[in-house]
Structure 1
């Protein structure tokens, strides 16, 4: 049986591949990644900094006690920590700014050659982290807690309640530094900067940390108020950028 001529031509037309449109031809060309691979590029990094005074402090302190039994060590520890918490409250520190950061109980042993370890008692510690928003009270708060029974002061760190403005200033400085470095490298190598292809960021706040524990110990021995110097904070932002160069 012969196929009608018109039906045969229609079948042939449906089977034949359609010509590529301009859009399809462009899509079939080199990808953006391949084009960039064949371009002259410059990969650089830079940073920006913003220095300012801190507006908050964090004090890490605690109570350590020993007892013949685990219950006695914990009981004595709780009693002394309650006194410390009372001193913090009396100094005007709100409950929301006091956070328990560690609670430990450990058995203590005596070791003698040729003999089994001998239990001598228990050691209990309770650590709290205190946030202070009035920096003029940091020393007084530390003294009050030590006077109330705190016998461990692990340090003071300073920070910013809202580092956004300082971080943005550091970002702007970092971008300016990155652009200047790109122009320098391009000019030195006989090129010019065509465009910024990509930009990535990383970084954070670096806080100055004085040796607070040593200062406090000396202050208590000399019976003088503890003084703590906040110093200056540095907000640093690190960035990396990829530039395309051209002649």
Structure 2
């Protein structure tokens, strides 16, 4: 019995997806190989799905800071300012469950060590803003607390990352099937059942963080986009 193994081609294809639909285009990522002999005929393809979405959640890292002559006065005034900040954030629409204390500190400051010139107290608050459209209003509310207010930065994220991954997997599988069908047609065969599926790689969305300067500039409050990609290897039988 003479067996013949023939590699038909190596090709590339990538898929980009939005929640509203999926688009496919040749872009240089992925492989396809057709193997035929007297005992088996199959095609192995690698598909890629890329999804880009606008983040729907912002995390605001804010807080208060005071300097006073005594440790007790610094701590007491910082606590009062933090309470005002919390009330302002609640009034701006932040739910109480979306607020948490992120810092609480008290320490001396020196003119010339070890001579103490005063005491610094700070309390940080992280606020989860679930409506990104209200980001400006929330930031302005924090700043309006007074000179003790501090903005330490913002980050944006996607609340339902699993949905993104599912959509990227759908796109990757459709990508793989489209190329498998093309190679089946080129080889004069029909595409059969799926024999194996393996997920090659997953790149999940990552939160984007911006510093205090960007948070303070109203015109720059933009969540941008986050992307996720999935690569899948699928083996089909050829008939």
Residue of structure 1 in register with 2:213 after alignment: 214
Structure 1 contact 205–233 (Cα < 8 Å) conserved:
no
Q: 1:142 aligns with which of 122, 134, 139?
A: 139
Please state if 1:123 is matched with 2:115: no
Structure 1 contact 61–154 (Cα < 8 Å) conserved:
yes
| Residue pairs, 1:77-156, within 5 angstroms | 77-111=78-112, 117-149=114-146, 151-156=149-154
Q: Is there any run of 5+ residues in structure 2 with no aligned partner, and where?
A: 1-44, 181-193
Residue of structure 1 in register with 2:229 after alignment: 237
Structure 2 contact 215–221 (Cα < 8 Å) conserved:
no
Please state if 1:160 is matched with 2:129: no
The alignment's C-alpha RMSD in Å is 4.1
> Normalising by the residue count of structure 1, what TM-score does the alignment of the two structures yield?
0.60
Structure 2 contact 58–156 (Cα < 8 Å) conserved:
yes
Structure 1 contact 210–229 (Cα < 8 Å) conserved:
no
Distance 1:217 1:91, change over 3 A: closer
Highest CA radius of gyration, 1 or 2?
1
Deviation of 1:54 after TM superposition, in Å, equals 2.1
Q: Is there any run of 5+ residues in structure 1 with no aligned partner, and where?
A: 1-43, 183-193, 219-225
Q: Which has the higher contact order (CA 8 A, sep 6+)?
A: 1
Q: Partners of 2:179 and 2:107 in 1: how far apart?
A: 56
Deviation of 1:139 after TM superposition, in Å, equals 0.7
> Normalising by the residue count of structure 2, what TM-score does the alignment of the two structures yield?
0.61
Q: Which has the higher helix share?
A: 1
Residue of structure 2 in register with 1:171 after alignment: 169
Distance 1:46 1:231, change over 3 A: farther
Q: Partners of 1:240 and 1:162 in 2: how far apart?
A: 22
Q: Partners of 1:199 and 1:205 in 2: how far apart?
A: 17
